[in-house]
Each structure stands twice: as structure tokens, then as C-alpha cells.
Amino acid sequence: MTALLFAGVAVGAALSAGVLTAAVFDAAVGATVARTAGGPRGVLLTPLRRAAVVAVQRRTTTERPDARAWALAPALLLGLAAVMLTVVPVAPGVAVADVPHGVVLFGAAAATVLIPVFLQGWSPNSAFPLLGGYRMFAQGLSSMIPFALVLIAAALPAESLAIGDIVASQQGLWNVVRTPLGLPVYLATAPALAFWQPFSGPAGSDLAGGVELEASGPHLLAWRCAQYGVLVGMSAVGAAVFLGGWAGPALPGPVWVVLKTLFLVFVLVVARHLVARVRMERFVVGAWVVLLPAALADVFITGWWLL
């Protein structure tokens, strides 16, 4: 029981820290790209201030929404972000849930992200959020298979589906080299599953906010934190599976895990501010015709290398 409590606190703390760091990165990179004046204090405080404004607003309602499903959506997304963080190993044998099938659990959590995003779009009984929800279905279903395939390709050298074993198998050579197409395909499909710009069709500005259009107040705050949380979770697992997790000279293992996770978060945040949104039909065709064969090729290349 105390182990469960400790695990919960650890995951909560990691999630909060990750969300805050991702928000600060976002503000910092945004300010740099926009050439906005403002020192480091401004960059640190702005996400907190913006979160406070959203928290102070009251929740609005639309006509005949599905209130329960609408309330469930951010809670479910937050829960999935927490599940993603539980499978990340910070040291050999140390993870909140180093289950022997960590990759499959992570894949299940990532696939289930479709559900709260669609519910957030369908429940308000409003046209543009519904379009955003359907875009998420198209985007998520198209990117799920390449996403899962590159994770499996990374699991091949380890001969195990446990993320801790995958990290341990990278002692000599990181997977980013051994499975060369893995990290690029992962970085193309993971933000699509997290509806992160440049795959932000579900919450896009051409839908005036998409699934987030009708949300306000603490509901919106929980939603945005959950999206950052999913981003951090995917970066953490990507760092473990492709960048060698806790492996690294000089610094202790957990510090390397944090640094590599933050590196991937930084890459995704920079992509958000510098890459235009990918249009839906092009993304669907691209995912099935380009990314999926690339992921398959990744599996074959890894297998050939092992033989």
C-alpha cells in the first residue's frame, strides 16, 4: 500500500514538473521566434500566469452537451499521461511500473488518447469541436501502426518488451543508430497522437481552437496540462527506447533520463513554432503510404542487423 502511495506521488511529481518544464520551453521558444522582449523571469512566470487566468475563469456550457463525457475527457487524458510516465525506467530496475510488457502498455495508453480527444470534441454538441474530434480519429488511427511498429523494432534487439530491458540492450549502441528510421518515424507519429503542432488539426486555428473551442475554466486548464503531459510522456519513452535512457558518462542515470527527455521535448517544441500544420488528407496519405512502409523497413533493417 505504501508502495502504491509512493508510486502515485512520484508519478504526480514527475508529471507536474514535466508539464511545467514543457510550458516554460514553449513560452521561451515562442518568445524567441516572435522576437518578443522579456527576460527569463517573464518566461518562467508567463505559463503560471496564463494557467492562473484560465483557472479563474468559469466553466461555460453549451446547449445539451454530454456533460459526463465532457468532464471525463481531460481526466482521462491526464490519466493516460500518468500511465505513460509510469513505464519509464530511471535506473536499472527502477521504474514505477517496469512491467515485462511496458512497450505494449505504453502503446495501449497512446492509442487510447484518441478517446478523450474525440469526447472533448463530440460532447459539447458544437460543430467545430466535432470536426476536430473526427480529425483526431483520422490522425490517430493513421499514425498508430507506424508508431507501434518502430517501438517493436526497437524491442527486437532486446528480445524483450520491457522498456528497462530495451534500455539495457542499448549499452553499446543506442537504438537511434541501430534502428535508423526509428526515431524519425517516432517523432513524426508521437506528436500526431498528442495532436501537437505540426499535427494540431484537432485543435487547429482553422477551426478556431477545434476541440478546445468550447472549453473554458479549470476544464481547459486540465486539458492543456494533460496535453503537455502526454507530450512529456511520449518524449520520456522515446528517450528511453531510442536514446539509451539512463546510459551516459559522468552524470548519474536519472539525470541522463531527464536530460534526454527534455531534449526530445525541446525538439518537439521547436517544431511546433517553426513547422506549418500538416493538412489532414496529406497526413493520412503520408502516414499510410510513407511512414508505414518506413516503419516496416525499420523492422526489417533491425532484424537483418541482428542476423
Partner 1 sequence: MTNPLRHLAAGAPAPTYLLRGALDADADAVRLDPRLRVVDSPRHATVLLVAGRLPDPLLTPAALTHDALPHPRASVWWGDGDPPARWLREAVRVPADGDPAAAVCDAHAQAVLGRRPSEPAVGTVVDRAAWDGVGPYGHGGSGMTGGTPYGRSLPDRDDDPRDGLTLDVLRVTVGPFFSALPPGLSIDVRLYGDLVGACELHEDPFATSGLSFVAPHAEPFERARTERVAVANLEQARISHHLRALARTLRLHGLHALSDRALRVAVAPTSSRSVERLLRLVAASGAPRAGAGTAVLTAEAAGLGLGVVARASGVADDAREHDPAYAPLGFEPVTQRRGDVRARTQQRVAEIRQSLRLCQAAGDAVREPGPPVEDPRLPVDALREPVAETLAGLEWGDAVLALDSFDFAVGTPRAARAPAGVP
Partner 2 sequence: MTSWAVDSAFAVFAVAAVVTGFLVFRTDSMVRASFWLLASFVNVGLILVLLNARFLGFSVVLMMAGEMSVMAIFMVMLMMNPAGLNPMTMVHQHRASVAAGVTAFLALAGVGIVVDFPDDPARQDPAQVTAELGVEELGDSMLVFQTAGAALLATMIGGIAVTSRRGRYGTADEGSVPPPLDPPDAESAL
* Residue ranges that bind partner 1, judged by CB under 8 A: 29-31, 33-38, 46, 48-50, 52-60, 63-64, 127, 131, 134-135, 197-198, 200-201, 204-209, 212-217, 220, 272-277, 279-281
With beta carbons less than 8 A apart as the criterion, state whether 228 and 19 touch: yes
One-character DSSP codes across 50-113: HHHHHHHSPPP--SS--HHHHHHHHHHHHHHHHHHHHT-EEETTEETT--TTHHHHHHHHHHHT
Q: How far is the CB of 104 from partner 2 (least distance, A)?
A: 4
Residues 266, 103, 184: CA angle, nearest 5 degrees: 40
Say how far apart CA 92 and CA 35 lie, in whole Å. 43
| Closer by beta carbon to partner 1, 60 or else 171 | 60
* Interacting residues toward partner 2 by CB under 8 A: 64, 66, 69, 99-101, 104-105, 107-108, 111-112, 114-115, 118-119, 122, 125, 130, 134, 137, 140-142, 144, 148, 160-162, 279, 281-282, 284-285, 288-289, 292-293, 296
Q: How far is the CB of 211 from partner 1 (least distance, A)?
A: 11
Q: How far is the CB of 21 from partner 1 (least distance, A)?
A: 18
Q: Three-state SS for 32?
A: helix
| Closer by beta carbon to partner 2, 19 or else 103 | 103
Residue type (1 letter), 270:
V
| Closer by beta carbon to partner 1, 169 or else 200 | 200
Nearest by Cα to 124 from 209, 222, 197:
209
Q: How far is the CB of 159 from partner 1 (least distance, A)?
A: 40
Q: How far is the CB of 176 from partner 2 (least distance, A)?
A: 24
Grid cell at residue 192:
500526431
Nearest by Cα to 174 from 188, 158, 152:
158
| Closer by beta carbon to partner 1, 7 or else 66 | 66
Q: Three-state SS for 254?
A: helix
| Closer by beta carbon to partner 2, 50 or else 101 | 101
| Closer by beta carbon to partner 1, 94 or else 274 | 274
Residue with cell 484560465: 54
Q: How far is the CB of 234 from partner 2 (least distance, A)?
A: 15
